[in-house]
Amino acid sequence: MELIIQPDDRAIATIVADAVTTLLADKPDAVLGLATGSSPLAVYDELVRRNEASEVSFARSRAFMLDEYVGLAAEHPQRYRNVIETEFTGRVDIRAEAVQGPDGLGEDIPAACRAYEDAIAAAGGVDLQILGIGTDGHIAFNEPGSSLASRTRIKTLTRQTRLDNARFFDDDLEQVPTHCLTQGLGTIMTAKHLVLVATGAHKAEAIHHLVEGSVSAMWPATIMQHHPHATVLVDGAAASRLQLADYYRETYETKPAWQSL
């Protein structure tokens, strides 16, 4: 796992956007994995800027979302399908039909989850997966206790996650859905490159466990320690509980120029 400490989210965004730009230059029909939430917003803004400047094209790419709330009406602005369109996919040249997410309005939930797994596999798997991390260590919506081998399925959101996300629902916990469909940890682990971004002191404990803790379902993101190509980008606040922070800084500063992300 590579740990990169940067001054702020804009510096992080440049590095992640470089990786996406390089991937799409090498493989224009690459499959991207997209997270919602606040963490990747600077990355999406930078990719939009580059797309407008014709520095990167998403025209032949495809994208799969990590998760979706169950039961939010199709037009609800916080439905992740709508959020990702507003924040990113609707602002670049990716085809609308090339963006898929789990169907949180499907009547047969297990069938919708199986169909989503099949769609990811049929696309050849995700080449680069952008991730955020919850304060309780979740990635996608794999809450503590999630099977480390889990696949796309329904999950109950923890009270902590609902509290964290109430800011998107008029600060009203009652409006935050209780359930979601989420790619499993096993699904996420099939992506070829995992790129997790986190900023702020409220993420410091989760980042500490992710990078330096024991692999455990109690901190689901720790499964990333088993991934052969995982990159974690954080600001100083999110890195504040890392025991080996100085070593990670030195490693990045002295990284050979030929070594990519």
- Which residues would be at the binding site for ligand F6R (CB under 6 A)? 35-39, 66-67, 132-134, 138-140
Query: CA-CA distances (angstroms) from residue 58 to 10, 172, 250?
Result: 21, 36, 34
Helix, strand, or coil (residue 61):
coil
Least distance from ligand F6R to the Cβ atom of residue 67, Å? 5
Beta carbons of 59 and 94 less than 8 angstroms apart: yes
Q: Which of 158, 165, 201, 221 is nearest to 1 (CA)?
A: 221
Q: Which of 9, 103, 138, 208 is catalytic?
A: 138
Alpha-carbon span 152 to 110, nearest angstrom: 9
Residue closer to ligand F6R, measured from CB, 98 or 188? 188
Measured from each CB, the residue nearest to ligand F6R is 132
Alpha-carbon span 197 to 210, nearest angstrom: 12
Residue closer to ligand F6R, measured from CB, 10 or 27? 10
Q: Which of 136, 193, 209, 235 is catalytic?
A: 136
Least distance from ligand F6R to the Cβ atom of residue 41, Å? 8
Decide if 138 is catalytic.
yes
Decide if 9 is catalytic.
no
Decide if 136 is catalytic.
yes
Least distance from ligand F6R to the Cβ atom of residue 38, Å? 4
Residue closer to ligand F6R, measured from CB, 51 or 129? 129
Decide if 172 is catalytic.
no
Say how many C-beta atoms besides its own lie within 10 A of residue 59's C-beta: 13
Residue closer to ligand F6R, measured from CB, 58 or 88? 88
Q: Which of 86, 80, 78 is nearest to 33 (CA)?
A: 80
Q: Which of 103, 117, 127, 143 is catalytic?
A: 143
Phi (first) and psi of residue 239, to 5 degrees: -90, 0
Q: Which residues are catalytic?
A: 67, 136, 138, 143
